[in-house]
Amino acid sequence: MPIGCCGCCSAFRPRYKRLVDNIFPPIPEDGLVKANMDKLMWYAMNSPDKLDRIGEYLAYRLYRDINRRKTGYVIISMDALDQLLVSCHANNLNLFVESFLQMVQKLLESTEPTLQLRATQSFEKFANIREDTPSYHRRYDFLVSKFSSMCYSNDDCPDTSRQLRTAGIRGLQGVVRKTDWDNLGESIWLPTHMEKIVPSLLYNMQSNTAYMEVPTQLADSTDNHHNQSGEGEKEPHVLAEMCLRELVSRATYGKIHTVVKPLLIHLDHESLWVNNTFAVQIFKILMHSIQAQYSITIIELIMAHLNEKSIEPPQVRTGIADVLSNVIPIAAGECIGPSVIEIINSLLEHIRSSVVGRSGVGVTKDEAEAVYQDTLIHALGEYANHLPDYQKIDSMVFILNKVPGSDRVDEGGVARPEAEVKLQHLLLKSLLKVGTKYTTEQYSKTFSQSFLVRLMRLSVSGDAEVRLTVQHILHTLLDRHGNVHKLSTPTLEVTKLGLTLGKQVRQDVNFWKKCGNDILLSVQENCELTNNTLGNIEALYVTLMLLLAEIRSDDVIVDILRVLFHIQGVAQSGGVGGASGVWLHVVVAAVMMVVSLLVPTLKDHITEVIKNRSDKSPHLLPQLQPQYDSSLSSASIPENLVFDNAKVLDLLSGTSLDEKRLTASVSSMKRRHSTSQHSNSAMDINTISVDVDSACSSPGLPRRPLEEEITFESLKKVLSESPEQRRRAEVEEEQRRQVTQAFLTDPFETVVARIQPDALHAKLAEIFSRLPPPPPVTSASTTTTTPPTSCDSAAAMIVSPPTKYQLPYPDIFIY
């Protein structure tokens, strides 16, 4: 009876219920009663302790209206909730939010799209409110799952499907924003949440053809879609991209992998690596949205994913590598310290595993693997292009150290395994790719001693293609004025090439004095090899021309003249037959023409020889031909068709050039001995000399002859010394020299045989033999000791008895 009375008489009902009931009009189409809503808001603001009861009662009415399918009243309830959320103070919201979230959940559980859209709108408003106090018990699992499922909506009505997808994306965006602000509440970065959020966003972006066809420039900016028109913001793919950008921008270092991992899995499941336009654009969005200092983490995750896909078809790995090559330059600027070498090492390991693990698997697969390898090399080049120059040098040194065979020289053209040669090709191509991104300023900085030595070892490899790649690397690093593309083939019309000559710089002169012989030695050895192709010969011509153009020094000219005469001698001796010998003569003529312009005194002789060749043997002049008539020999050539070494030497005597360098011989075996016979070589101490005043170490200073230091004391010693003392000193010096020579040259057994007996031991034995024997000693408490009966036993008495810790001396050292 009392309950009935309370139900009939509104005066007996609590005030907050009467205020809530009054906001509902008799006809739901009339909407919220604004005057009564103002009263409810005033009451809630003045009595915040009633907020939880207001929320509970609104939730009760909402559940009842949903069950009775009174959609109008449901909308009015949500409007009232929105206004209460906005008007109430943030520190009081915790009393009200639980009821609000229950009402949002109830609407989302409904099958009517209208109620789902209305719930999403309310939650989006709630997500934009910053709360002062964190909520430790609030959870958003249901909201993440429901909003993610709405992103996959396939309603029969396209407009409804689009609206639901848009609502789902906005809901996810609200969840991300709300949980990220509430640091002490539930973390949205849990893998269970990211595995639902990220694929939902990618699905909506994937459905738009703009991401699947041609890359757009819009993907390279961080706020391109924020300036879109209002109509564009309603498109699901636009909102999905905005949400993805916001999600990635909020990720910290430890949370990045939870975002990228689901993305990689989605690309795997949807087979989006082969046609990777979508993948490239997605990762560009990530790289431009993430905090700059964390961008390298995405590169590491892609590389780790590539490692996991090592057994996949090469087309899949090529797609991943292509994505890497597109996004790796963005992160290159943020790489410092060991991370640079780690990335390069990872790329090189992928190249090596591709060569070693999949050689000879078939023509089609080999072609696909070659595409994959080229993609990795391209990625390496793009990465190096964005590094500072000092890191490019370190990268080139690191790559060269990885090349098999750079630590030794091929002996006698020993054939290497096919996989090793192929790996050499690829790693050298990688080195060349990095070299093309580097700008040389000083050769001493570019060519460190270890780098140049390893490069020169590879330059005389038994494989012609390896030697050609090494020459191309040299061209890239030597060329500072863009002369390489002008020197494609040998020619006599040098003035028409338009070469840019370098200036004479002291650092270049010092570099040449230190490393010039190594470079020219490799050129000589290359010319002596019999498997040279036309490309190899042209590359050697370019190397010599670049040295003349870039390093302006008299020593360079004379040293190159010496090499040219050596090459001419190789061609005349018949060491290389067929077309190779003719090619060498052509190269010598082309380079000699340049020398004649630099040294005018040689012009007449060089012009005369070239004219004689033009009249009698035009095949010895440019242009180079792939093949020559077998009747044209490179060995038996008349003297008037070859350049005369003696005549050139005589002509140089009247110039400032050092003609003595022309007659200096450099053994082609120098590098081989220096790299492979260190352990078998013996050094004569008399051949060691120290130059304490080297003009090479002080460029521009004249060499000062060494002076003998004569002091007053030394003169006094010479005058006061008797002839007998000088003779004795000479004898001692001679004995020391003989001993030193014996230890350096004689066999070990001979040295042992010359050792004199121990004089001290013999003298002690003689002394003890003259001593009388001691009287016998007897005692009850001691043991009788027999005196020694020989010199050896007497001598042994003075030696302390061995302790238990003493070890016997090895017999091999006792003679």
Q: Judging by beta carbons within 10 Å of its beta carbon (0-12, 13-18, 19+), is residue 542 exposed, middle or buried? A: buried
Instruction: Tell me what the mean pLDDT of segment 550-576 comes to.
Output: 89
* Number of continuous H segments (helices) and E segments (strands) in the chain: 36, 0
Given a cut of 90, is residue 196 above it in pLDDT?
Answer: yes
CATH number of the domain within which 32 lies: 1.25.40
**541 within domain boundaries:** yes
Quote the CA–CA distance of 662 and 319 in Å, as a whole number: 56
Q: How far separated are the first and last CA of the chain, in Å rounded?
A: 128
Instruction: Tell me what the mean pLDDT of segment 704-732 comes to.
Output: 70
In order of 483, 552, 595, the CA distances from 506 in angstroms are: 21, 10, 21
Assign 480 a pLDDT band (cuts: 50, 70, 90).
very high
**58 within domain boundaries:** yes
Q: Please say which residue of 622, 644, 674 terminates a domain.
A: 674
Per-residue pLDDT at 784: 42
Per-residue pLDDT at 232: 43
Per-residue pLDDT at 793: 45
**663 within domain boundaries:** yes
Neighbours of 446 (CB within 10 A): 21
| Phi, psi of 790, deg, nearest 5 | -145, 170
Assign 50 a pLDDT band (cuts: 50, 70, 90).
confident
741 Cβ contact list (under 8 Å, min separation 6): none
Given a cut of 90, is residue 640 above it in pLDDT?
Answer: no
* Cβ 389 vs Cβ 334: under 8 Å: no
Q: How many domains does the chain contain in total?
A: 2
Nearest to 452 by CA among 544, 516, 507, 402: 516
Quote the CA–CA distance of 651 and 655 in Å, as a whole number: 8
Per-residue pLDDT at 612: 92
**633 within domain boundaries:** yes
**560 within domain boundaries:** yes
Q: Please say which residue of 606, 640, 674 terminates a domain.
A: 674
Helix (H) or strand (E) holding 726: helix 723-745
Quote the CA–CA distance of 355 and 369 in Å, as a whole number: 8
Quote the CA–CA distance of 650 and 797 in Å, as a whole number: 82
In order of 588, 703, 768, the CA distances from 792 in angstroms are: 81, 66, 9
Per-residue pLDDT at 90: 53
Question: Residue 96: which domain range?
Answer: 12-133
Per-residue pLDDT at 775: 62
Per-residue pLDDT at 639: 86
* Cβ 464 vs Cβ 409: under 8 Å: no
Per-residue pLDDT at 727: 82
Q: pLDDT tens for residues 432-466?
A: 999 998 989 899 999 998 899 999 999 988 889 99
50 Cβ contact list (under 8 Å, min separation 6): 16, 43, 44
Instruction: Tell me what the mean pLDDT of segment 94-110 comes to.
Output: 83
Given a cut of 80, is residue 710 above it in pLDDT?
Answer: no
**83 within domain boundaries:** yes
Given a cut of 80, is residue 115 above it in pLDDT?
Answer: yes
Mean pLDDT of the chain: 80
Assign 32 a pLDDT band (cuts: 50, 70, 90).
confident
When mean pLDDT is compared across 55-64, 99-108, 320-329, 741-750, the lowest value belongs to 741-750
Per-residue pLDDT at 134: 64
Per-residue pLDDT at 268: 94
Instruction: Tell me what the mean pLDDT of segment 54-65 comes to.
Output: 87
Q: Judging by beta carbons within 10 Å of its beta carbon (0-12, 13-18, 19+), is residue 87 exposed, middle or buried? A: middle
Q: pLDDT tens for residues 772-781?
A: 766 655 444 4
Q: Please say which residue of 133, 168, 186 terminates a domain.
A: 133
* Radius of gyration of the CA atoms of the chain, in A: 45
Q: pLDDT tens for residues 80-92?
A: 888 888 777 655 5
432 Cβ contact list (under 8 Å, min separation 6): 469, 472, 473, 476
When mean pLDDT is compared across 423-432, 649-658, 702-711, the lowest value belongs to 702-711
Instruction: Look up tokens 């053809």; give the residue.
Output: 209
When mean pLDDT is compared across 245-254, 300-309, 572-581, the lowest value belongs to 572-581
Instruction: Tell me what the mean pLDDT of segment 535-560 comes to.
Output: 92
Give percent of the chain above pLDDT 70. 77
**84 within domain boundaries:** yes
**798 within domain boundaries:** no
Q: pLDDT tens for residues 175-192?
A: 988 887 766 556 788 899
Q: pLDDT tens for residues 116-156?
A: 999 999 899 888 877 766 666 678 889 999 999 999 998 88
Helix (H, G, I), strand (E, B) or coil at 701: coil
The residue type found at 180 is: D
297 Cβ contact list (under 8 Å, min separation 6): 253, 256, 257
434 Cβ contact list (under 8 Å, min separation 6): 380, 381, 384, 392, 395, 396, 399
357 Cβ contact list (under 8 Å, min separation 6): none
* Cβ 246 vs Cβ 180: under 8 Å: no
